[in-house]
A and B are shown apart, each in its own frame.
Chain A
Amino acid sequence: MLIPCPWCGEREDNEFTYGGPAQVAYPSDPEAADDASWARYVFFRANPKGKLAERWVHSAGCRRWFNVVRDTVTHQITPA
């Protein structure tokens, strides 16, 4: 799989490290959040079949984080 790094261009996936789904909103009022809502924030993810926004870091290259949208069925990547 080739992943498009916004700085270095397309590189093989073994140069990258996965950072989980992107756009997971931090609790708006963390002081008031109870255990259940923290658990939901920390552990619960949508796991869709289809397009998923993800975080990746070009760990063997320029070491910069970026977002892409990957289709979990076809692995087709479109820049976020």
Chain B
Amino acid sequence: MIAEAVRRSPFAGYAERFAALSEATGGELTIRVLPFATQLNLRMDPKNLSLVQRISEVLGFGLPVTPNTVGAKGDRRALWLGPDEWLAVGPDGQQDELTQALTSAFNGALGSVTDVSANRTLLEIRGAKARELLAHGLAIDLDPRLFGPGRCAQTLLAKAQVIVERRDESGFVIYVRASFAAYVATWLLDALAE
């Protein structure tokens, strides 16, 4: 018998409990496990302007060079992770294609593209109460004046290191390391009760 390799989201066991709680809040808060995504770690020198230009052309939007901001167009986005580090995110299945396109855009310049799709798993937290829920475990100020749409931050949610991205006024996406998913899920369910 040949065992079939099945990909399973680290949040898979919690999807139903999230759905039930979302219903119980009457739409004020929905937590949704997002499908697998292409995630590539990109490292390069942002001072090389022609390289930034070439990478931006591959992505389809300008690479965000301001700390803790997100560039996005359509279903593709790039999150600033460090002064020479980004996370490119896209729909699942584009790993090889996007890696190849970005690598060839280097055109000899120093840098790296690494597939980290299995590193983090995505969770969407949306609704009028989303900010209040996250504020239970995030030390950063989520006020839209400081952390509005198009902003992201790497910080601690409770005790787990996460990337928080604000998609719009009431929607956040958190990128959680796979091994911390169970901890974050149970923490969120516990914080929901408060």
Contact = CB atoms under 8 A, between A and B. Distances in A.
B155 A15 contact: yes
A75 interface: no
Most buried by B among A8, A9, A61, A63: A61
Given A8-B153, A15-B155, A60 B81 contact: no
B139 A62 contact: no
Contact of A8 (B68, B85, B161): B68
Given A8-B67, A11-B139, A12-B139, A60 B156 contact: yes
A7 B156 contact: no
By secondary structure, the A interface counts as loop
Contacts of A15: 139, 155-156
A42 to B, nearest CB: 30
Interface residues of A, number: 12
Interface string A16-53: 00000000000000000000000000000000000000
A62 B154 contact: yes
B83 interface: yes
B81 A62 contact: yes
B78 to A, nearest CB: 15
Contacts of A14: 139, 156
A60 B160 CA distance: 9
A8 B156 CA distance: 13
Contacts of B156: 12, 14-15, 60
A63 B154 CA distance: 10
B34 interface: no
Contacts of A60: 154-156, 161
Interface string A47-69: 00000000000001111100000
Given A7-B68, A9-B67, A64-B82, 8 more contacts: A8-B67, A8-B68, A8-B153, A61-B153, A61-B154, A62-B67, A62-B81, A62-B154
Interface of A: 7-9, 11-12, 14-15, 60-64
